[in-house]
Amino acid sequence: MIHVSLTTLLLLGMIVGLALLGCFWLYAVMKERRQEGKARQDLVSCRICGNIYENLNRSPMTACPQCGSLNEATKPKPI
């Protein structure tokens, strides 16, 4: 039989718990980044007034709802 002291057993339990917590945290961060990237694909910034609006129908040219100027749907700049 393997002899394990109580302190070693508690230490191993804490290490496993922290490792699981770290894995869940990494998963949540990666999931949030993917969702943010998908949401940013539909955003268009107006060249004239600077208004940021959604291009829901994903057409190549959209009119700004604030000033009415036509804008190209381009990839957003990284944050």
53 secondary structure, DSSP code: E
Task: Give 17-50 pLDDT, tens digit per residue.
Answer: 999 999 999 999 999 988 887 777 788 888 889 8
Whether residue 2 has pLDDT greater than 90: no
Per-residue pLDDT at 76 exceeds 70: no
Rg of the chain (C-alpha set): 24
Neighbouring C-beta atoms of residue 41, cutoff 10 Å: 11
pLDDT above 70 for 55 = yes
pLDDT of 38: 75
